[in-house]
Amino acid sequence: MVKYMCKTDIYEILRRNIIYYRKQKNLTQKELADKMDIDYGFLRKVESKKVKKNLSLDNVMKAAEVLEVDLPKFFEKRDES
């Protein structure tokens, strides 16, 4: 049986994974935003715990491509570190 996550959970999982994989590549938020061709302020909001920002699938796919991570990995639960 598949357990579905609520909308808030998926954004939290994506937030944590984007931060994790960005740091694995030793990229700053600004560097990742530039490589993804998105606004730096937008990425800061996406990575912020305080702000819930809608993140399009297109942007998740861009992040996966730039960070060289298989897309499904962005949806795996990860402990905050």
List, for residues 45-55, the tens digit of each pLDDT value: 999 987 666 78
Tokens of 60: 């998740």
Domains of the chain, each with CATH number or no CATH? 7-75 (1.10.260.40)
Angle between helices 57-67 and 29-36 (to 10 degrees): 110
User: Greater confidence, 43 or 55?
Assistant: 43
Rounded distance, CA 54 to CA 33, Å? 16
User: Greater confidence, 78 or 70?
Assistant: 70
| pLDDT surpassing 90 at residue 73 | yes
Averaged over 65-80, what is the pLDDT?
Answer: 89
Confidence band, pLDDT 50/70/90 cuts, at residue 7 = low
Closest of 32, 59, 26, 40 to residue 14, by C-alpha: 59
pLDDT confidence of residue 12: 87
